[in-house]
Every structure is written in C-alpha cells, then in structure tokens.
Amino acid sequence: MTRFILTRLLGSLPVLLCVTALLFALLQVAPGDPATLMMKEHADPEVVMRLRAGMHLADPLWKRYPRFVWAALHGDLGQSYKLGRPVAGMILEALPNTVALALCALLVSWLLGAAAGTLAALKPGAFIDRLVMGLSLTAVSTPVFWSALLLQWFFAVKLGLLPVSGFFGFKYLILPSLTLGLASAGTVARLARASLREAMDADYIRTARAKGLTELAVLTRHALKNALPPVLTVMALQAASLLSGAVITETVFAVPGVGRLSVEAIMARDMPLLQGAALTAAVMVILGNLAADVLVAIADPRVRKDWGKLL
Amino acid sequence: MRGRAGKGLRNVLCAVAAILLFCAAQVPAQVPAQVRTGGELRLAYPHDPMTADVQKNTEYFLLGLNVFDRLVECAPGPPDQAGATAIAPGLAASWEISPDGLVYTFHLRPGVRFHDGSPLTAADVVYTIDRMCDPATKALNTAIFEYVAGARQRLEGQAAATSGVAALDALTVEIRLVRPFAPFLALLASPQAGIYSEKFTKAAGERFGLTPETTCGTGPFKLARYVHNSDQRLVANPDYFRGPPLLDAIGVRVSADPETLRMLFEAGEIDLFDMDFAPTQLDYFEASPKWRGRLVRAARVGLYYLAINNAKKPFNDERVRRALQLSIDRRLILDKMFSGQGALVGGVMAPGLACFGPRAPDLAFDPALARKLLAEAGYPDGAEAELVQVAGWPAAWADLAQVIAAQAAKGGFHVKIRPFDEAAFLSTRMYGDAPLYFQVWSADYNDPDNFFHTFFSASGTKVRSINLADAGALDAVETARSITDPEARCRAYRELERRIVEQDAAWLPLFSLDHVFVLGPRVESFAAPWNGWSDMSHFATGVGRPGPP
Amino acid sequence: MTDETPILPAEGVRGVQLRVAKVFLRLLAVNPPVGFQGAKPLGPSGPYARALAALARDRVATAAALAVAAVCLGALCAPWISPYDPNAVDLALRNLAPGWSHWCGADALGRDVLTRILYGLRVSLIAGILPSLGAMILGALLGVAAGYLEGAAGFCIMRLCDAAMAFPSLLLAMGLMYALGSGLSNICLAIVLTCWTAAARVARARTLSLKQRDFVLAAKAMGLPARAVALRHILPNCLPALVALWGVGIPEAILFEAGLSFLGLGAQPPDTSLGLMAAEGKRYLFSAPWISIAPGAAILGLTLAFNFLGDGLSEALDPKSAERP
C-alpha cells in the first residue's frame, strides 16, 4: 500500500506542474494586465508601466515559470500583486474556512443522500422511490445561486433563525452547507440507490434470504457492506471537488474561502494569488482521488491483493 | 467609477469630520445626536477594502477615511449655498499660500497624537509625501503630488528625497510646487492624502495598512480587526483631537452578493443599506411602508456620461457627435430606470462641484434632427457604432447599455454592443482606442479640475478614449490650473464647458444620480458625505442602543 | 447482476474498476448497459432498435422525449411563435406582471420574458448538447486508449485526467473566457475541457474489463491491429454507457453555463441564456419575481426532462430491463 501511495504521489507531481503551467500559459494570453486593473479608473500608461516593471511582467514566460516553481518548492508562493500580502499566508487563512464548509456540506450530502438512497432502494418502483428520485433530480438541477437565496430568505429573513451570511461561527455554517450539501445529496442518493439495488440483486443476497434472514439483516449485514465501495469512491471525489472551493456558494454567503480568493485573483489578474489558489485546489483534488482509491481498496479485500493495477 | 460603488475614486469622502451635513429631510426623527451614545454601527460592503494604506489603494477608502486625517478637509460651505463646500482645517490649523501660488506653508495643530501615542510633527507630513513619491513604496496615487518640486525626480529614482517638502520647525511644513496649481489644496483634502506617522510606518514596512498591528493614524477610529474577505472592525479613538466619535465601534462585513446585502439589512444584521451596492432594490424600499420613512437622499458630486471617442469614425465628425447628443432621451432613462432619483446634467461639471452652474439651454432630445444631421454628415442610412459592455460591471449597467443602444437606433445609429472583459477594456481605453462607453465619475476633490483635467487634458483625453481634437480647449484646461483668482477660474471653466459640449459636441453628459441610503432602526444620526460617496467618515454617525451581542 | 459475481474474484482489481465505471452509471441511476456483464460481443446495429422500442414503452421517458423535442422546436421556431422581438426595449413595460399579452411578464427593460426564454433556450441547448457530446467523444477516445494501452501511456493519460479534474472547472472556464474572450464557442470549449474526465474514466474501466473478454482476445488472435481492435470491438461496447452519461451531461452543462453567467462570464447581453436570465432577474426576485422564476423553472424543467430521458435511455439499453416484466 505504501508503495502504491508513494507512486501515485510521485505521479502527481507532473500533474501539479501541468496545472500550474497551463495557468501560466492561460494568463499569458489573457488580455489586460494586473497593473491596469490595480489602477482601474486611474489607469494611464505611465503609471501602469512603472507598476509593471515592479512585477517583472516583462520577463518571458520561460523565465518566470521556473522561478515560480523553484520558489513554490521552497514554500514561497510569492506576494499578491493586488493586496501586497504573501500568498501562502492568505491561503492558509482561507483554507480552514473552505475545509469547514466542505466538510459540513459533505456531512449533509452523505447523511441525507445515503438515507434517501437506502429508503428508495428498499422498495424499487414504490411511491417513496419515485418521490426520492424526483426530489434528488430537482436538487441536482436547481441553480445554486437560487437555492441559496431562497434558503436565506426563508431561514434568516422570514424565520429569523439563522444569520444571512458571513462566517463567524458554527451557526453561520448551516445555510451555506445546506445549500452546497443539498445539491450533491441528490447525486449521492441516486448513487446509493443504484448501488444498493445492484447489491440486493446479487446471488449472495438470495442465499442470505434463502437462509431465512430478515430483510433488515440482509440489508445491514450484506447489502450495505457490498454497496459501499462505489459510493465511497464518488463521495471522496465529491469531497475533493468541494475542497477546491465552491465559488458561488462562497460568494453568496460571504465565506472568505479559497474559492473567493481564486475569483478575486482572476478578476484582478493577480497571478501569484491565482497560482496559489489553483495549486491548493489541485492538491486537494489529487489527495481526494488518492483517498478514494485507498478507501475503496480497504473496503474491498479483492483489491488489496493487487495494488499495482490501481495505478 | 462605477455606479455600484467601489471602483475608482467613487466611494471616497472628503471627511467632513466635525460637521453634520444633513440631507435627511425625509427622516423626521433625526436630530444631530451630539450626545455620545456609543454602540456599534454595523455595515456591509460588497468588497474587501484591500488595504488601509491610502497611498496604495485607488478604490476603497472606508478604512482610510476613518483611520487617518488629512492636512485639510473638505467641509460644507455656507448654509445658504446648498451643496457648496469649503476647505476647512484638518491636521493643519492654518496655512498660507505665496502670492505666486508656488509655496504652501502649513501650521500643524499642536497636541495631535497618533493611535500609538506619538505626537504628530512636521517630519511625519514630510515623510508621508516622500513615501508616496518613493519608488520603493510602489504607491498608486502618486498623481496627487505630481507638481510638488522634486516629486518626479524622486519617482524616477534620481533623488533620495522629495526636495520640495521640508519641515521648517516641529509644527510647520513647507511644500513647494513646480508651477502654480490651483487645485492643490483641494487635492490635499482627498482621501489619498492621509497623513502617516514616520516612525510607525517605517517600522511596519510593506505590511503597513494590512493588519491592525501595522496600521496607525490620527483619525477618529483605530483599526482593531481586519480579516481578508470577511470583516473589519474599527474602534473609537478616545483621544481624537476633535473629541471622541459618537460610536464605540464600526463593524464592516464583506458581502459580495447584492441580494444578500438586502437580506442582511432586512434581518437586522446591518444598520445601513447603501443603494449604490444594490440599485435595483430602490423600488422595493420606496414602496415599503416600513422603510419609506427611513430613506436618506444625498446629492452626489458625480455624473454618468457617455464617452464619445472623437477620433474614431463616425464620431470624428462633429455633426455625428451632435446627432448622438440629440438621440438620447436622458429624462426617460432617469425617470424609468432610476425612478427619477437625480438630476439631468448638461455640462462637464456635476452639481455640487465648485464653479458648477446649470448650463442653459440643456441638451435637446430630437431624434428626427439627429437623423438629418447624420444624413448631412454622409450617413443617410445611419452610422455604425460600437458600445462597450464590460462583463463584471453591474447588471444595471448592462441594462443601461441596451437602453442607450435602443435609443440611439431611433436617432439613426446602428449601435452594436461589444462585450469586453474589464482588463481588456481598461488597456484599450488607456491607449485611446475604446469605442463608445459610459461610466460614472464622482469627485474625489472639490475642484472643477477634477473633471476637466480627467477628461480634457492632453493626456487625460487620450487615456479615457475621448480624444478631444480641439487644441484650444486642451490648452485652456492646462492654463486654468494656474489661474489664481477663483472668480476668473470659474469663468474660464464655464466657458470651457460651453465650448466642449456645444461647440465641439465632444461630450455627452447624462445625469447625476442621488445616493440613497436606508437607515436601519438603530441609526439616530447620519450624515452623507459632501460628494455622495459610499466611503465616508463615520465620526458623526450615531446609533441608539448598543448593538446586539 | 447475477453474472457479475463470478467475474470479480478472477479479475480482482479490474472488477473494482468495473465498479467505478458503474458508479458513474449509478450516478445516473442507470443499470450497466449491454455487454457490461455478459461476454457477448455487441455490434452497433441490432440492439439499438430494440432499445428504441423499449424506450417507446417507457411512458415517463416518452413524455420526457416529447418535452425535449417540443422545447427544441420552440427554440428553433422562436421568431414564428412569439410576436415579440426578444431585444426590443420598451421602458413603459418595465417589470410588467404576467398577463394575457405577456404570459410570463416583462423584464426590467420591458422585454417579453417568455420570448427571451425561447431565445435563451437556443444558447442553453447549444451549450448543453454540443459540448457534452464533444466531452463524450474526447473522453471515450482517451479512456479507451488508456485502458487498452495500460502501462506508461495509460498512466500518463490517467494523470492527464487527474490534472483536468484537479484544475478547478470554474477556474479553467474563467481562464479560458479571459484568454479567448467570452462567447458561446468558448463556453462550449470550457465545458468540453472540464467534462471529459467522467467519460474517460468510464470508458477506461469498460475497456479494462472488455480486454479480457473472449471476443476481444479472439480478434487479437486473428491478428487484427491494436487500433482496429480498440475501435471496432471495444469502443462500440462502451457506447451504451457513454450515451447514458451524455444524458446527464446535458443538464450539467446547462447549469454550468448558468453558473458562468452568474459570474458574468457566460452569455453577454443583449444575448441571453436561461442561466443569465435567472441570474439577472435575481435582482428583482422580491419586486418582480417572474423575471427570475420563469427562466429558473425552464432550467429545472429542461434538466428534469433530460434526466428522465437519460434514465429511460439507459434502462432501454440494458438488456435485462427488456427481460423484466
């Protein structure tokens, strides 16, 4: 297992290089430059030139990119053009918020999704099954900025139970994680239902039923265990994508997270900040993918014998 | 400067520190609450302020206006002249200007202390100006000191100090200019000119203004908390030289979504709703019996304008520009899209600006005449034009662009809306190549120069893609800067305004929108700033009860 | 999946990959399609007629298919259906409530909301269908290659897939918009570049399991070149799964475009898309709710229709469902 993890991690380094190089290239061809955007309404060629000189923007790409990689390897992500703060510090400040939001959202989506999916799988084709599947589709297809607004209006303005936005403690976490969690709960529910139904169709379940086990026992002892690996895979992948920053939710609920940082950075062409945010997101996704594979392997003894194939 | 507040200089206020400017005719309950009730004012802004360092910020001055003071301040003028302002003493108790307009001598107020307890001295003022011009600072607002002697050499790294600034004694500063520059005093009252402590700022280095520990001024509030993208907190400075502010604290939250802002206000989580951040909510608040009585309208020293690129076909022909002026029904736009909250502007200067006078007659609306002029100019089938639409500008502006395009069509123009990304637009505009665009400009210092030099100086007219071709007018803008007699200067500007709008038809002003605020139930005294910006000093704002925990 | 259990112990890891592939299918509440569990080779022709017949028997799917067809027709024929010009500004009708002349009301500029929905559907449908198709093709080719080649090449392709997943999709889209300018074609490109990974993973997992099947081994033994084996025997057998994936890719893409529009990176005024309309109308959610709710409901309806159609399609492509009563 250790060898597997190490190989994958080593294999991820080029991935990170790819991601950052792509960003550099994208920003290179993007029109406009950070200096202009810093001056906004006051931009004039003279001041902009002076600012640009301080940013080393005149250097060619092949000079700037290795410089970035070299510094990043030393833990130095540079200084934000726009804000003058060290990027690493800004990311360290924002990351816990994103992680907290993502974890709460995942909790919502996993619990709600798994429960709903199991419920639906118990009686395929029944009313409850159709209801759950219909609701999950609705959840999946509602734009996030919409559900966010409705939740805010109902829970904060109408009922006055929860704060509208901001990020100053646990109760500020509830609405954004509900917004984010509901959308992915639909996916988890559909997945859990499908996976359980497949497991319930299997021979060993028939054997278990034939042995005279109750339906509940069949479900908990056999089906759930076997339905778990695929659900785990997708859950971990979901976690990865959420950890890399839920931009819209963070914007609407004013969560000072990595997603906001990346929007801010791209709007201002703040390359160091954008690189930092993208690098963080990429690391999160890679770790999430790896965790997914390891979890699946741990849950499934058949895989443990042959780690190499997972590469 | 965009309508939604926050870009350019818009939100800035020339801190009207001690004097309340009540525009609150509609708020009967408002008495100037000179009694200090304490409490916390809770605000929300759609953006992070980036830094409290006013030298390195071109957009957000809420922190800067409350944490720092300036040598002079912009204050309301005599009560009989609505909207007039005057330069009032700030950190400088008095000043003299030499007859040739080249030497300014400021006498500092004795006994003023910075938040860290150290006294304000002339050396601090000298340091502040030199820091702006020091290339190592990478300051953004260097333009305000461009005529200080030695500033250019310092900026270009040819000098180790700005030679034109000197401390004559502990409390006297002398600033020498390279040429007479009438708006200089008004510029010193702009938020970018906040005064720093030499010792503290040097020690804070690059982190000055980024954290409470590295921010220190003389202002009515001290920065106590600053979490990027989340919130800031300012606490009262009990030793403020004008006396402690009415509030104990100001809490500012960052909330980017306009609808969320409104819900924050309705849920009672913030005390002030700034309509500039969510202009489409005006209809709702005006119709609401609960809030109707809590609306405060402040005049804004600023205007919406449609910038015509005089160098670009078809607008390189004066008749075509005049046709465009005739095609836009400004009254209809103001009434329908902005509920009539504001005034039409017919010139270059916005109402409330020094030297402003309504230009008569106002621009006419006559699409038929416009088509005739186009035909005369050689466009019998209409003229093609492009109008800028920047992704990321407020949605209301996208609407405005479409209305303008539709109206221009009636006057014979085929206006194509061309999407731009903000960076691309700014760089295109900077080199004089932008097509038609509209924008807002509001005053950061109260002098006509702030408008004329921005749009019609030889450099400004290109940077803003207006490209005024009238060389006489360009020269006149430059000359007007050095006229020392105020009356003569005003006359010169009014003549210039007429020449640019009527004779050259080079400029299409739209209107000046009132700045509407809705006061939450706790707010007892509130004074909008002289220029109608969102960023203001809250020295005179008061709330009734202490805020909820 | 009665015939699945015997495969798994023998195939070990590949079984897991099969499961991962299924995960993606299950995501769509889809049963593994034809050939997924059986070893029977599948030509591209025969089963599709059967699937179509099965689809026709599914009432929900039929209704969904009809709805999708109606919507496409509506978008296509918008100029003949609606008496209004979608971009005609009339400030006198500003925020007009729904009524007989304007069924869904008028927006902030007095434009007919229903008409704009019809025109907005064009963008949303193009952004929904084309890029998800492109993503499927790109993903299928790369996935089959990765699965068939295994070894270093496969590893590289899968790391590329990792990189694409690791690159935050919104960020990639934003970057592209800024680099190439915003426009429908670039939105489509962004969607393709962010959505191909799922297809690649499914295709690879399918390929890995198909590679061991008798008919593939037989084809190899007959001396067919690798490319021919992959394209003629493996790719067609991946198709059903990919078609099902495409079914949910469409609404995903529509919502993705809606999200981009929300950030000002999608369709640019005066052009519109459902997402842009919902995002713009959001400003008037409390004073003129129809401006935002009507396009929002359209997104929801469209997504539901495509999802039901996708479900029906995958059920129909599953031979087991045909056997069921």
Tens of pLDDT, residues A283-307: 887 887 788 778 777 776 655 655 5
Quote the DSSP letter at residue C230.
Answer: I
Mutate to test the interface with C, among A141, A200, A231, A241 (most CBs of C within 10 A): A141
Q: Does A230 touch chain C (CB under 8 A)?
A: yes
Q: Chain C partners of B261 at a C-beta cutoff of 8 Å? A: none
CB contact under 8 A, A85 and B426: no
User: How far is B403 from chain C, CA to nearest CA, in Å?
Assistant: 6
Kindly give the confidence (pLDDT) of every residue in chain B, 549 residues in length, as a single tens digit, with 9 standing for 90 and above. 333 333 333 333 333 322 233 333 333 333 344 577 788 999 999 999 999 999 999 889 999 999 999 999 988 766 555 556 788 999 999 999 999 999 999 999 999 999 999 999 999 999 999 999 999 998 999 999 999 999 999 999 999 999 999 999 999 999 999 999 989 999 999 999 999 999 999 999 999 999 999 999 999 999 999 999 999 999 999 999 999 999 999 999 999 888 899 999 999 999 999 998 988 888 889 889 999 999 999 888 999 999 999 999 899 999 999 999 999 999 999 998 888 889 999 999 998 888 888 776 789 999 999 999 999 999 999 999 999 988 778 878 888 999 999 999 999 999 998 888 788 888 899 999 999 999 999 888 889 999 999 999 998 999 999 999 999 999 999 999 988 888 899 999 999 999 999 999 999 999 999 999 999 999 988 988 888 889 999 998 998 765 444
Which residues on chain C place their C-beta less than 8 Å from a C-beta of chain B? 87-89, 91-92, 94-95, 108-109, 177-178, 181-183, 264-265, 268-270, 279-280, 282-287
Looking at residue B297, the DSSP 8-state letter turns out to be: E
Residues in CB range of B317: below 8 A, 6 or more apart: B377, B378
Map C103-127 to HEC letters.
Answer: CCCECCCCCEHHHHHHHHHHHHHHH
- For residues A252 and A244, what is the distance between their CA atoms, to the nearest angstrom? 17
Q: Using the Cα atoms of residue A147, residue A151, residue A153 and residue A158 in order, give the sign of their dihedral.
A: positive
Cβ separation C265–B406 shorter than 8 A: no
Burial class (CB in 10 A: 0-12, 13-18, 19+), B343: middle
pLDDT for the residue B390: 85
Q: Do C269 and B417 touch (CB under 8 A)?
A: yes
| Cα gap B307→B451, rounded to integer Å | 13
pLDDT at residue C226, as a whole number: 81
The reported pLDDT for the residue numbered A197 is 76
- Is the previous residue joined to B314 through a cis bond, with omega within 30 degrees of 0? yes
Give the single-character DSSP code of A294. Answer: H
Q: Return d(Cα A197, Cα C31) in angstroms, integer.
A: 10
Would you say B87 and B72 are in contact if contact means Cβ atoms under 8 Å apart? yes
- B9 chain-A contacts, CB cut-off 8 A: 41-42
| CATH 3.40.190.10 is the classification of domain B10-251+515-543 | yes
Asked, as a colleague might, if the bond just before B49 is cis with ω within 30 of 0, I would say no
The DSSP bridge partners found for residue C112 are C106
Chain C's closest residue to A143, CA to CA, is C255
Q: Where in chain B is the domain with CATH 3.40.190.10?
A: 10-251+515-543
My answer on whether omega of the bond before A124 falls inside 30° of 0, hence cis, is no
- What local confidence, expressed as pLDDT, does residue C27 receive? 41
pLDDT reported for residue C253:
81
Quick one: tokens of B406? 């539709």
Q: How far is CA B221 from the centre of its chain?
A: 21
- Chain B residues with CB inside 8 Å of C123's CB? none
pLDDT digits over A17-74, tens only? 888 888 777 777 666 678 888 887 777 788 888 888 777 777 777 888 888 888 888 8
What CATH number does the domain located at B302-513 have?
3.10.105.10
Residue ranges in chain C whose pLDDT is less than 70: 1-48, 150, 168, 170-171, 174, 178, 181-182, 209, 240-241, 243-245, 247-248, 251, 262-264, 314-315, 317-325
Please give the residue of chain A at the shortest CA–CA distance from C2.
A202
Rounded distance between C-alpha atoms, residue C178 and residue B468, angstroms: 31
| Sequence-ordered list of residues with C-beta below 8 angstroms from that of C82, at least 6 positions apart, any chain | C112, C114, C115, C118
Q: Are C199 and C143 in contact (CB under 8 A)?
A: yes
> A306 touching C, CB under 8 A?
yes
Give the up-direction half-sphere exposure of residue B482: CA atoms within 13 A in the CB hemisphere. Answer: 11
- Measured distance CA(C50)–CA(C239) in Å, rounded: 15
* Kind and range of the H or E run holding B463: helix B460-463
Whole-number pLDDT of residue B33: 46
Report the chain B residue with the minimal C-alpha distance to residue C178.
B421
Angle between helices C113-149 and C151-166 (to 10 degrees): 150
Asked if A182 reaches chain C (Cβ–Cβ under 8 Å), the answer is no
Nearest chain B alpha carbon to C261: B391
Two structure tokens written together for A303: 């895989």
Q: Where in chain B is the domain with CATH 3.10.105.10?
A: 302-513
Which residues sit opposite B512 in a β-bridge? Answer: B343
Ranges of residues in chain A with a pLDDT under 70 are 29-32, 198, 229-230, 233-234, 236-237, 240-241, 244-245, 300-311
Q: Which chains touch A (3 or more CB pairs under 8 A)?
A: B, C
Q: Do A256 and B227 touch (CB under 8 A)?
A: yes
| Tokens standing for residue B545 | 């009860």
Backbone angles phi, psi at C35, to 5 degrees: 75, -10
Cα–Cα dist B166/B116, whole Å = 24
Alpha-carbon distance of C51 to C34, in angstroms, equals: 10
Q: Collect all residues of chain C within an 8 Å Cβ-Cβ radius of residue B278.
A: 283
Is the minimum CB–CB distance between A40 and chain B shorter than 8 Å?
A: yes
- Residues in chain B with CB shorter than 8 Å from the CB of A82 are 50
- Residue C203 to residue A281: CA distance in whole angstroms: 26
pLDDT, position B198: 96
Cβ of A143 under 8 Å from any chain B Cβ? no
Longest alpha-carbon distance in chain C: 76
CA distance from start to end of chain B: 36
Structure token pair of residue B457: 């100086």
Nearest CA in chain C to B397: C269
∠ CA B75-B81-B83, nearest 5°, is 50
Q: Measure the CA dihedral A252/A258/A260/A263, to 10°.
A: -130
